[in-house]
Amino acid sequence: MEIFKTLGIDWRLLVAQLVNFAILLVVLKKLLYKPLMNVLEKRTATIEKSLQDAQAIEERLKETENMRAEIIRKAQLQSEHILEQAREIAEKKQQALLEKTRVDVHGIIHQAKEKIESEKNQMLLDAKREIVDLVMKTTQAVLGDLLTKDVSREYTTKAIEKVKQRVAA
Handedness of CA 7, 8, 9, 11 (dihedral sign): positive
Percentage above 90 pLDDT, the chain = 53
Structural domain including 92 reads 2-168
- What pLDDT does residue 145 have? 58
Distance CA 52, CA 58 (A): 10
- What pLDDT does residue 127 have? 84
What number is the average pLDDT over the span 92-105? 94
* DSSP secondary structure of 104-163: HHHHHHHHHHHHHHHHHHHHHHHHHHHHHHHHHHHHHHHHTTTS-HHHHHHHHHHHHHHH
Contacts of 129 (CB under 8 A, 6+ apart): 167
Kindly report which listed range (88-97, 113-122, 134-143, 146-155) carries the lowest average pLDDT score.
146-155
pTM of the model as a whole: 0.42
Percentage above 70 pLDDT, the chain = 88
The answer to whether residues 138 and 159 touch, using CB atoms and an 8 Å cutoff, is no
User: For the chain, how many structural domains are there in total?
Assistant: 1
